[in-house]
Amino acid sequence: MNPNTSTPANPGYITVNVEEKLFQNRYKVDAGRPHIRIKDADICTHACASKSCTFVCPASCYKTEGNGTVTLITDGCLECGSCRILCSEFSNVDWEYPRGGHGILFKFG
Ligand code: SF4
């Protein structure tokens, strides 16, 4: 039994998984102006063995393709900054906040 499940003995629990929480967010995409950019795709493909961004990003913005390249789609970015910090070995992430009025809108804090 899920320990977070609301029961008659524990009626205060609300069961919400991460995907359900993320679905509550809204994004205003700045079309053609992504706020994060991979500086040199070849570094991700050939030099970076761990490709940590592909499994640390909570919004799954980074993906490893079949040919070993890493793709980045920033539309669902939570602006947490994890990828910016994580890529310290190669400093291959060019990161800035989205322009005013764009980016994520957190609906529940
Ligand atoms: Fe993913 Fe956070 Fe980087 Fe956005 S800032 S791409 S959510 S790791």
pLDDT tens digits, one per residue of 37-66: 999 999 999 999 999 999 999 999 999 999
Distance CA 34, CA 1 (A): 42
Tokens of 108: 């529940």
Angle at 47 between CA 42 and CA 49, to 5 degrees: 120
What confidence score (pLDDT) does residue 1 get? 52
Q: If pLDDT is split at 50, 70 and 90, which confidence band does 102 have?
A: very high
Counting the structural domains of the chain, the total is 1
CATH number of the domain within which 48 lies: 3.30.70.20
* Residue 55 located in a structural domain: yes
Burial per residue of 81-96, b for 16 or more beta-carbon CB atoms within 10 angstroms, e otherwise: eebeeebeeeebbeee
* Residue 62 located in a structural domain: yes
* Residue 101 located in a structural domain: yes
User: What torsion do the CA atoms of 8, 9, 11, 15 make, to the nearest 10 degrees?
Assistant: -90
Judge contact between 80 and 53, C-beta under 8 A.
Answer: no
Q: CB under 6 Å to ligand 1: residues?
A: 36, 57-59, 61, 77-83
Residue from 36, 53, 78 to probe ligand 1 pocket by mutation (most atoms less than 8 Å from CB):
78
